[in-house]
Amino acid sequence: MSVCSIKEIKKRVAEFPKKAFIHLPTPFNKLENLTAELGGPEIYIKRDDLTGLAFGGNKSRKLEYIIQDALDKKAEVIVTWASLQSNWCMQTAATARRFGLRPILILFKSYDLGPGLDGNLLLDYILGADIRIREAEKGKVVSAEYAAEIVAEVVNEVKEWGHKAYVAPLGGSRPGGDMKLPLGAISYVAAFAEMLEQASALGVDVTHVIHSSGSGGTQAGLLVGAKALKEDCRVIGISVSDDKESFGREVLAIARGTVQALCLKLPIGNEDIQVMDEYLQDGYGIINKPVAEAVRLVFQKEGIVLDPVYTGKAMVGLIDLVRKGYFSKKDKIVFFHTGGTPALFPYRDKLVELLK
Ligand SMILES: *Cc1c(COP(=O)(O)O)cnc(C)c1O
């Protein structure tokens, strides 16, 4: 069942210009050993950790469009913000440098990690990003209001230098700052189409897509892709940062904006949004034994590295749902690997302790 053809969706997405600089399509394959281990439905993986920008990840897809937007707006500096070990910030800095822009990153420290430059923060440093660290509440992504205050200060500073800044919103998800359209989500409508083509080529009838959800753009894009191209495919977002009600509202708003930007006639309602927040546990960036064990299991069984903050938690969700009998044996599940692997290293002490 589909409202649109893949060709039509590709045509609509192509109206939004992008700098094509990452490796697409990313690989798609079956996780044979994990499927056997869990004994449930067939599990496939979409390797968006292999986009080829820095250490890969979902932010690379979004940034193909966002960097084009910044260049079109004649920006010389990109300003963005997120948490201390943010994949988004590191990927933005890498993209900015690649296209000759200067990155300023406002990084909010909301969890305890060892001191020193490590993981994404080390990569930010190597890139020569202008790094501004601020404190934030534990286990939470920084509030929009507090972030906006600091961003405004930085933008003023850039103006005083006589340079033009492009403010990219957190995660490249909800339109804001200088990004007026849901470009990140649009890139994930294309990702859904890309995955569907690969699955069809293998004769796989995808029933569920499951992935880690943080700022909502990925889920909104995948959902719009599913609504347009394969209505019976459910998109399940495992929240790593927010409760399901407020997160669901965020995804719905971005998804509706995406439908509008693509001039599609797709009604999207609350019933389409499936966010699970039970795997969030103690909050954003805080890990526990199931997360460490999921990271180990997928590494041992498949040779694929997950990260503790996003994909590890989403995998805890997938494993738990399979074990609880949430899926039927005939279902075909696609796990989107959204990247984030540099964050593994700052968690070394916790991972070792949890895996003892
Ligand atoms: C940002 C991120 C996500 C979540 O994507 P959103 O579009 O922000 O919801 C998932 N996984 C990783 C590794 C990320 O860096």
- Which pLDDT score is estimated for 110? 75
Q: Which residue ranges of the chain lie beneath pLDDT 70?
A: 1, 111-115, 138-140
- Which pLDDT score is estimated for 1? 59
Name residues whose C-beta falls within 8 Å of residue 122's C-beta, 6 or more positions apart in sequence: 342
Q: What is the CATH number of domain 6-57+182-355?
A: 3.40.50.1100
Report the catalytic residues: 86
Q: Which amino acid is at 124?
A: D
d(CA 297, CA 315): 10
Distance 215 CA to ligand 1 centre (A): 7
Cβ 212 under 6 angstroms from ligand 1:
yes
Distance 212 CA to ligand 1 centre (A): 6
Strand intervals (E) in the chain:
28-30, 42-47, 77-83, 102-109, 130-135, 165-167, 208-213, 234-239, 274-276, 332-337
Residue-wise pLDDT tens digits, 143-187: 888 899 999 999 999 999 999 999 999 999 999 999 999 999 999
Q: Which of 234, 237, 303 is CA-nearest to residue 32?
A: 303
Q: What is the DSSP string of 205-222?
A: ---EEEEEESSSHHHHHH
- Cβ neighbourhood burial of 349 (10 Å; 0-12, 13-18, 19+): exposed
**Any bridge partners for residue 29, and if so which?**
45
Distance 63 CA to ligand 1 centre (A): 13
Cβ 311 under 6 angstroms from ligand 1:
yes
Q: Which residues of 313-345 are buried (b: 16+ CB within 10 A; e: fewer)?
A: bbbbbbbbbbeeeebeeebbbbbbbbbbbbbbb
Name the CATH topology of 59-172.
Rossmann fold (3.40.50)
Cβ 88 under 6 angstroms from ligand 1:
yes
Distance 310 CA to ligand 1 centre (A): 7
d(CA 13, CA 178): 20
pTM for this entry: 0.97
d(CA 132, CA 148): 14
- Which pLDDT score is estimated for 114? 64
- Which pLDDT score is estimated for 139? 64
Atom of ligand 1 nearest to the CA of 49: 13
Cβ 85 under 6 angstroms from ligand 1:
no
Q: Which amino acid is at 281?
A: Q
Domain ranges in the chain with CATH number 3.40.50.1100:
6-57+182-355, 59-172
